[in-house]
Amino acid sequence: MIRIYFIAIVAFLLASAIRAQDSVLTPLETGNDSRGWEAVGRLDIDGLGFCTGALITPDLVLTAAHCLYDQNTGKRIDTDRIEFRAGWRNGRAEAYRKVSRGIVHPDYVYDDSVAMNRVRHDLALLELLRPVRTTRIVPFRTDAAPRTGDRIGVVSYAKGRAEVPSLEEVCNVLGRDGGILIMSCEVEFGASGAPVFSFSDGKVRIVSIVSAKAESRKGKVALGSELGPALDLLRAKMATGGKRFLRADDGSDGARRSMTGAKFVKP
């Protein structure tokens, strides 16, 4: 069975005096609650598992790379088996779209022995078979990584709340470490790939995606991949067309590996 809803747990000791804060999740249960968040959707994998993703253009969904792999075999999942359900809420979506192609970060290795490498490069883009063009669904813009201390938010589906998305708008960036954001946000199975939003200058923009949950010296934290040049690279490669499932390094399974460091523990 494909278990795509997982969030891997890593041991990560955060060398910071900032404490992970208790968070509050707000279910987006009604049309009014979810207004403006419809471009966040549930990624269903053949009915066997799910992740969260978000539209950044009418035909591109940003999510986590590990969502595109079978947890049991480590093999890529055929994109024909993935469906994006924009604004999924209580059994209905604003739009249903199948996926035609997927691209993962060139340095992402699903079974990399260095756990933090998996988080650092855990980015993927999915191209939809048909663009989502409706006035109710507006793709999100992306932005540079936030600074330590900035207020952020996450909209996600997860275990126990798979039918209605939840908004967490009160978490913070606790620190940054080589392309990884450490955040006080509460995440759970299914939140993989969920967009992390900044609210600077009154604008809501995606600045990261949720990759994993972790334990720090100060408590539970969420880990996310920064965007920046990595997302630019994926966009450029997607624009070239070609194969149905691509790596940004032209599909080669070869990648740099390190034999040191902790492995993910999959619960």
69 Cβ neighbours under 8 A, 6+ residues apart: 75, 76, 77, 110
pLDDT band at 22 (very low <50, low <70, confident <90, very high): low
What confidence category does residue 18 fall into, taking pLDDT thresholds of 50, 70 and 90?
A: very low
pLDDT per residue over 97-148, tens digit each? 999 999 999 999 998 877 888 899 999 999 999 999 999 999 999 998 899 9
Query: How far apart (Å, rounded) are the C-alpha atoms in residues 177 and 134?
Result: 38
Q: 230 in helix, strand or coil?
A: helix
3-class DSSP assignment, residue 26: strand
pLDDT reported for residue 77? 92
- Identify the pLDDT of residue 125: 97
What was the pLDDT predicted at 163?
95
Q: What is the pTM of this model?
A: 0.85
The architecture in CATH of the region 8-247 reads Beta Barrel (2.40)
According to the model, what pLDDT value does residue 218 have? 65
Q: Check pLDDT > 70 for residue 32.
A: yes
Q: What Å distances lie between residue 205 and 71, 141, 144, CA to CA?
A: 30, 5, 9
DSSP 149: T
What does pLDDT average to over the chain?
Answer: 83
**SS3 label, residue 210:** strand
pLDDT(73) > 60: yes
Report the pLDDT value the prediction gives residue 188, as an integer from 0 to 100: 85
pLDDT of residue 266: 28
User: 225 Cβ partners below 8 Å, 6+ apart?
Assistant: 64, 105, 119, 120, 121, 122, 123, 179, 180, 181, 208, 209, 211
pLDDT for the residue 240: 84
| Alpha carbon separation from 47 to 1, 2, 51, 266 (Å, rounded) | 10, 9, 11, 21
pLDDT band for position 215 (cuts 50, 70, 90): confident
In Å, how far are 83, 192, 198 from 48, measured between CA atoms? 12, 15, 32
Checking 117-120 for CB contacts under 8 A at 24+ apart, the result is 117/258, 117/261, 118/8, 118/66, 118/211, 118/212, 118/264, 119/10, 119/180, 119/211, 119/212, 119/223, 119/224, 119/225, 120/178, 120/179, 120/180, 120/225
For residue 256, is pLDDT > 70? no
